[in-house]
Amino acid sequence: MAASRPADVRRPPVPADPPVYVIGAGPGGLAVAQALRERGVRALVLERSDRVGASWRGHYDRLRLHTTRRLSALPGLPMPRGFGRWVSRDDVVRYLEKYAEHHRLEIVTGVEVHRVEPAADGAGWLLRASGGRELTGSAVVVATGFNHTPRLPDWPGREEYGGELRHAAGYRDAAPYRGRDVLVVGAGNTGAEIAVDLVEGGAARVRLAVRTPPHILRRSTLGWPAQYTGVLVRRLPVWLVDRLAGPVGRLSTPDLSAHGLPRPDTGLYSRVRQGAIPVQDIGLVDAVRTGKVEVVAAVEGFEDGKVVLADGSRIAPDAVIAATGYVRALEGLVGHLGVLDGRGRPVVHGGRTSPRAPGLYFTGFTNPISGMLRELAIDAGRIAKAVAKAAAKGRGQPAVNSSRSDHS
């Protein structure tokens, strides 16, 4: 006689533990959410805009990654080969949309988190968000992005200046500036690319205001991307990389001192550690050498409708585009928790948390020489591992679900 089959045993439903809240649906936030989900931890992404990848959608049209397609993919989904080696802005946005869909990530848009506080019971976190929402999470990952809030210097006379002045965040293409005299302020990658874009787009005159000359590198030399070198040297001592980079820079890019852009007097990696990533040359060197982009002194202020430069000269461009960077804008969100340094940057990142705020993680607030997207992918795995480890030890961190959570 055959043995009877035992009745199906149904497990009781898994308790609805507070999720891990991920603030920001850019590459960093999406990567963390996927890594947490992969470990069976429910992650709920909160995004203040109406779509994923909001900051990428706002970048200028000609933008392409300076990191290779292969080293820019997030965990669990390669970038399509059809994107090419240097991925365009629009393809990055398409990839982020596909990434969220492919991994079935839980994302709530239109919710802006204003403040993160310890929960009243001491277990987890309370998030105060738009619409009067109060959300309780077992852990929080802040991924609001390196380029969060445009920074426009408080130049003397700025408020009275009647000419066109805009931050680079509002620049899309050169069409509005065709036939005009334009001053670009700031010689980082954004300023350099906008200056070249203006030249190619028919601006009558393009000047680039430079306070500190940047290190300039070829994006690729004989097929070898600069990013690969960044990955290889990122763990070496700063002084050693500075010493090695000097001769390489002199061989790969010409001396532009005669054109107002001398070589920097500080080492390349020293500058990176201070937050200044080298400019990847996609036409700036040739534009400066041929006089199509004129290098001028830094902007000191505005007076009588003119731009006052550091060398005392005054110029009157038709438009000023300030490629002057962004601020992290974390003070209101977490500044009261003692987790930011004097410049408003998180004191820890990746899988580490501050002793003052266990269970509060940060990703995307460094600008590494090895590539931002690559490091975001690495950080995601470290954060997920730390969260799951804390859960296993029962330290009040998120409980690990017995199965992955899907869209509700």
Of 188, 146, 145, 201, the residue nearest 319 (C-alpha):
201
Question: What are the angstrom distances between the C-alpha of 154 and each of 159, 166, 209?
Answer: 9, 13, 16
The pLDDT value given to residue 166: 96
Tokens of 1: 């006689």
* Count of beta carbons in the 10 Å neighbourhood of residue 230: 22
Per the CB < 8 A criterion, the answer to whether 320 and 165 are in contact is yes
Model's pTM, two decimal places? Answer: 0.88
The pLDDT value given to residue 132: 95
Exposure b/e, 360-385, CB count within 10 A at least 16 = b: bbbbbbbebbbbbbbbbbbbbbbbbe
Of 389, 106, 357, the residue nearest 400 (C-alpha):
389
The pLDDT value given to residue 394: 65
Residue count (the chain): 408
Q: For 141, left (φ over 0), alpha (ψ -120 to 50), or beta?
A: beta
> CA triplet 93, 147, 87: central angle to 5 degrees?
35
* Count of beta carbons in the 10 Å neighbourhood of residue 95: 25
Per the CB < 8 A criterion, the answer to whether 322 and 165 are in contact is yes
pLDDT tens column, 154-195:
999 999 999 999 999 999 999 999 999 999 999 999 999 999
Element (H, E) at 390: helix 372-392
Alpha carbon dihedral 147, 172, 369, 229, in 10-degree steps, equals 160
Strand blocks (E) in 63-180: 106-109, 113-118, 125-129, 133-137, 139-142, 149-150, 164-167
In the chain, the domains with their CATH numbers are 20-148+328-392 (3.50.50.60), 152-325 (3.50.50.60)
DSSP letters, 18-67, are PPEEEE--SHHHHHHHHHHHHTT--EEEEESSSSTTHHHHTS-TT-B-SS
Question: What are the angstrom distances between the C-alpha of 379 and each of 24, 61, 191, 274, 369?
Answer: 15, 28, 28, 20, 15
Give SS3 for 274. Answer: coil
Element (H, E) at 387: helix 372-392
Give SS3 for 183. Answer: strand
Residue segments in the chain with a per-residue pLDDT below the cut of 50: 1-16, 395-408
Tokens 């490629």, residue located: 323
Pairing of strands 149-150, 164-167: unpaired
